[in-house]
Amino acid sequence: MARLSQWIVLVLVVVQAQQLVEGKRYIIKVKPEAIGAPSVDEMFNSAYLQFSTLVTEQSTKPVIHSRINLANTLNFVVCEFEPSFAQRMQKHDAVEYIEEDLPVKATGPIPTKRQSNGPLGTQASAPSWGLIRISERRPDDTQPFRYPSNAGSGVTVYVVDTGIDASNVDFGGRASNVFNSVDGETDTDLAGHGTHVSGTIGGNTYGVAKKVTLKGVKVLDQNGNGQVSNVLAGLEYVLANNVPGKTVINMSISGQFTQSLDDALTQAASQGVAIVVAAGNTGGNACLNSPGSNSHVLTVGATDQQDNVATFSALGKCVDIFGPGVRIMSDWITSNSAINILDGTSMAAPHVTGIAALALGQQPMSPPALFAHITSAATTGAIKFNPNNPLSSETPNKLAYDMV
């Protein structure tokens, strides 16, 4: 990785006197065999000569933003430069591929209207219909939410999102923020989205796994927006710190498909980390999105209180399971006991993440075994699809069930 950086620095030297004009952010994936190869210095020298012929007075000055290494296997460099440089870099022997650093966003709203609750109550009656629904086979059943007594104890969920307001009393001191890749913002949640998601995963009142440890990995800003490179940096942190078989990642985010994020997710899964993701709120094909299209994650669509597919939920064969995602009550950020009610596949995914944490609390499992466990236990045939949507016939009719 250091030598690739030296190569790019050579480009910087050539144009160091030029003023930075409009460029784009790119993610370069470096070929594993190129790192440390005997001829790597010669390759970089030839690259210098090649790039030096491209410099004009209008050239953008290339900038290295970050270097990302996932499990000492995937090496990325995040840079900013003009497209002409990108086209030449793609042809270099050290580069596997180069792609734009595309935007990602939260798959739930970032509302301006907020509300606050009074003192938190007990779990005698679940305050969110989603908890009751995943605990019952029928939508009209109103029995209390049931969950194992260990409630996910010993399991860590990394919430890759906008951060967590760890001061909210519903978390009982089990939540913290451990990583932040958003420039110019503090670690805590300024949007509310990550706190709401975390509350559904593991809040004392609104959560599925009420004893799980929640760790905020901030990759989205106060408006719920970020770049793929932010997410890659967050995954780099998780892979360096997780305990395989006892770790779940929740990603209630979505964007256009990108190869770099897809590769990173596959690598994380191979390291024994279970990843649950939102299908996306496009109403279209989840196979066109990242992270929802990855075959090694559990992709979650959203349903409403009548078991209808939410109108916004992405569909298709890349969706593995559905969870409650309309009018979901959970924790918020305006006080240490605030709540809010939101819609989105962002709200559906944490229900399934909570179920995953409950299962891992019983016994460690590999991601494939865990996902098979969850999907085989799901309630089948309950979801009502739009018959006029051609994607409906491709989508599994499986509604999450907590197996208790």
Question: Which residues are the active-site residues?
Answer: 161, 193, 346
Phi, psi of 223 (to 5 degrees): -100, 5
CA angle 119, 198, 227 (to 5 degrees): 140
Alpha carbon distance 347, 176 (integer Å): 20
- Is beta strand 379-380 parallel, antiparallel or unpaired with respect to 398-399? antiparallel
DSSP H helix total and E strand total for the chain: 9, 20
In the block, which residue shows the tokens 């709540």?
339
| Beta-carbon contacts of residue 131 (< 8 Å; ≥ 6 apart) | 145, 206, 208, 351
Q: Residue 232 corresponds to which amino acid?
A: L
Q: Among candidates 311, 274, 285, which has minimal Cα distance to 386?
A: 311
Rg (CA), the chain: 22
Return the H-helix or E-strand segment holding 374.
helix 367-377
Question: Which stretches does DSSP call E strand in 261-378?
Answer: 274-278, 289-290, 298-303, 321-324, 328-331, 338-342
| Beta-carbon contacts of residue 69 (< 8 Å; ≥ 6 apart) | 1, 75, 76, 236
Alpha carbon distance 325, 322 (integer Å): 9
Paired tokens of 160: 């890759």
> How far is residue 258 from each of residues 218, 255, 362, measured CA to CA in Å?
20, 8, 35
Q: How far is CA 399 from the centre of its chain?
A: 21
